[in-house]
A and B are shown apart, each in its own frame.
Chain A
């Protein structure tokens, strides 16, 4: 009986010590000395900045080191000019179709399909329609790069997801897919 009451006491004690954890909230902390950051962390909210966001826009016209601004403007004329004049800056040995494939599969294939035939997963499930087959469009590497950079009609810009070099790798892979269709 004495042992039983001790076990019961232990059970109550352990339950009361562990029951206060609410799964919908962050747990309690013991002395969070260096848990919250003193400097500003990326994406953090802070009243110190306009708009309350840590990520502020750089000054217009500034060029970070290792970046080349894209010269063609986001318009039909820009697209035509890019289609006619823009050529891949990648040397033949720098073209990595394997990486291009990986990037294409991640960012493009969901709509355009693994083969570039416009039969992506979202199209097959009829979430939306109207994704063209690469074969049906007269595209050049310049126009592909331009469209990935700015987007066109329903397609959005992918300049956020892909660096310039990655966009060229995808462009080369798209050209390869198109030749196979």
Chain B
């Protein structure tokens, strides 16, 4: 500590007079306590939505895809819209835990656990759409290149939909491993604090016998760094592959090379918005305001602003290239988006995605929890409409005017989407009561550099005798 130099410009990441034990107690409190009435209400609503989704999916699988509003022209609509939306939301978790780790961002430590949980839960939601939008989902295993009795009939590796299978399954498994690895010291903490034999047993199993030796920690750090290094190209490639579903087609409005980075930027944009939505609630309900500070929210708002601006540039680029291309189909596709029968969805997308993040330029707004919360929801609405606009408006008016049509979702389309939202919150609510929602081991590692207590001590030490004597101070 004595040799530590921390720029005085940096604001504390842990506020309040917290020591190591306080962190443990604060993180363990929601797990060790009992759920209150509000939690049960929220959980019941989420569970009801989830069960309604199960009913809608069962109805779809039992009756057929014709229960949806998709038609012969618009074969993809809400299903793929929701799929891309959920995958996009998932991306922020990996970005926070992997990319910010590579960039040594200490502020990620209080939010990475929940962001990764959000990734995993939202990828689970996303993964349901590729299966249940199939006409014959019971043959979904045919997408796997498994040796078989059809003369070893294989899959065609040229389809981005197959790449989706590999991308999503790899993404989910790597995210899960990354998340769980980080959870081991925290589960061990809960195990060691457990009072009842049942919780003792549960957290003993979950923590894989973590004992926190120096060698374990050394390898833990190495694994985290390697996984972060792997997860970063993964997070970029996964949404790139998702964008290939559209970009590799010949549909005007889909066939653009800008789609991969633009989708990734949109994914980070919507994902961070979702993290913000969840954490603003969680910090309040789980009493974690000392760890998820206004600075965290501000930094996430800045990322939302940056990625929102990238998305805005992408929109403008698309419009410019459509005009510049001289391809009348391309030009019409964008004219149709802006002035066609779905103009309102385009307008909504433009307002939510391009204008709303720009308010974050104002410090007063980006440090306001209420405004951040509202904007974070607005952004996710906008990003849902972005995918809807890209998919539906490009399909409903393309080359042959005789195939022009409209799309009208049914209650089953909506039910499936509501069901995934319900399922997401079921998982997230269960997570928030049984998992350490803050990576306490990591937060403890920045205690002496970035907590308010130590920053004050250092300041005093520096003024008193210029010898950085905060180590003696206890």
Contacts and interface: CB of A to CB of B under 8 A. Distances in A.
A33 interface: yes
A33 to B, nearest CB: 7
Contacts of A4: none
Nearest to A30: B138
Is chain B's interface secondary structure helix, strand, loop, or mixed overall? Answer: helix
A33 B138 CA distance: 11
4 contacts: A31-B136, A31-B138, A31-B139, A33-B136
Interface string A24-67: 00000001010000000000000000000000000000000000
Contacts of A33: 136
Interface of A: 31, 33
A6 B138 CA distance: 30
Contacts of B139: 31
Interface of B: 136, 138-139
Contacts, number: 4
A20 B217 CA distance: 52
Nearest to A33: B136
A29 to B, nearest CB: 12
A33 B139 CA distance: 11
B135 to A, nearest CB: 10
B139 to A, nearest CB: 7
A33 B136 CA distance: 9
Contacts of B138: 31
Nearest to A31: B138
Contacts of A31: 136, 138-139
A31 B139 CA distance: 9
B399 to A, nearest CB: 32
A31 B142 CA distance: 13
A32 to B, nearest CB: 11
B143 to A, nearest CB: 16
B153 to A, nearest CB: 15
A40 to B, nearest CB: 25
B34 to A, nearest CB: 40
A31 B140 CA distance: 12
A77 to B, nearest CB: 61
A175 B440 CA distance: 104
A73 to B, nearest CB: 55
B335 to A, nearest CB: 43
A17 B136 CA distance: 24
B131 to A, nearest CB: 15
A31 B61 CA distance: 13
A31 B138 CA distance: 8
Nearest to B139: A31
B351 to A, nearest CB: 46
